Amino acid sequence: MLISVIITNYNYGQFLGAAIDSVLSQTHGDVECIVVDDGSTDNSRAVIEQRPSAKAVFKANGGQASAFRAGVDQARGQVIIGLDSDDYLFSHACARIAAAWSPGLSCLNYRLRVTGQSFESWPVEAFLDSGHAEFFDAHGYFPSAPMSGNAFDANYVRTLLARAEHLDGDGVDAYLLYSSPFFGRIGHIDDTLGFYRTHGGNVSMTSGRKTVKNLGDHAYYQFWGQQNAQRLAGERGYAVRRRGHLVGAYPNLWLLVAKDGGYDRRRLPDQSRLRTTAAALRAFARQPGISALSRLKNICLLLTLSVLPLRLRQRIESWAIL
């Protein structure tokens, strides 16, 4: 089984070498490493050129989705892994993935080791053995690691990239993950096969620096990842509800804070504060995988924000979230 690992990079030269080397040192005998540099202005080109065994693609800056598409265009493997350039795979990762892969899978999840956080690995929740479509319908996501913790069927990836709407920036993992239950089975390896590096500049909302820009971007990607999945599920005969609003506790909270902060990079979902607050409250009341304290804290925060004027909301959001 040929596995294509696509590393997308923008100005992460300080981490990129470790990511490439982790792919080139895989014990699985049939792995290709494709590195797409998205117009970096640091030392990334030099790092890539020092590793001629990797297939290099240099392009103008266009965002993660654009870079990932460029990598998929070069990929020859049956399975595709999208490795963020600040992460790396353990040497046995592709061998474990190849051994666990079976016909009919659209996605295979595995864990990523994390340091410097209150949790040891992504995801913090247990993997699902089944019922991914139903879980997604109820909560707007299902337990999984970020981009580097997933292997996808190459045919599914190409279909999704061709059909997805508003896949025009970052957040590619949300689009790929949320639609995957409607194109095949989802399996998992309940073991850590890679390392998720935390360095203060991560885009992830759990381990990264929270800004109005990041919160707004994530609300946008979550919304369109969900919208695409709902549409594709309907086309393929799955009983998933079509909704015109964000689903999920944290995405709706992010949306509230981003709108209060004047986010204007992309067009956010057109839903009122009342609807967004109500959706967040309902979701936090039944959100799996969080502690009772986090549940209570966020419900109290939402209720407080719902009655305050903008300036006071911004102060509280800056203290509690940003």
Q: What is the pLDDT of residues 141-194, one digit of tens each?
A: 999 999 999 999 999 999 999 999 999 989 999 999 999 999 999 999 999 999
pLDDT at residue 208, as a whole number:
58
Residue type, position 156, single letter: Y
Which pTM was predicted?
0.94
Question: Between 288 and 207, where is the model more confident?
Answer: 288
pLDDT at residue 110, as a whole number:
98
Q: Is the pLDDT of residue 304 over 80?
A: yes
209-230 CB burial, b ≥16 within 10 A, e <16: ebebebbbbbbbbbbbbbbbbb
Q: What's the average model confidence in pLDDT over 239-253? A: 95
Q: Is the pLDDT of residue 206 over 70?
A: no
pLDDT at residue 175, as a whole number:
98
Q: What is the pLDDT of residues 97-113, one digit of tens each?
A: 999 999 999 999 999 99
- The domains found in the chain, sorted by start residue, are 3-196 (3.90.550.10), 212-320 (no CATH)
Q: Is the pLDDT of residue 207 over 60?
A: no
Return mean pLDDT, the chain. Answer: 94
Burial of 242 (0-12, 13-18, 19+ CB in 10 A): exposed
Q: Is the pLDDT of residue 200 over 90?
A: no
Q: Alpha-carbon distance 319 to 322, whole Å? A: 6
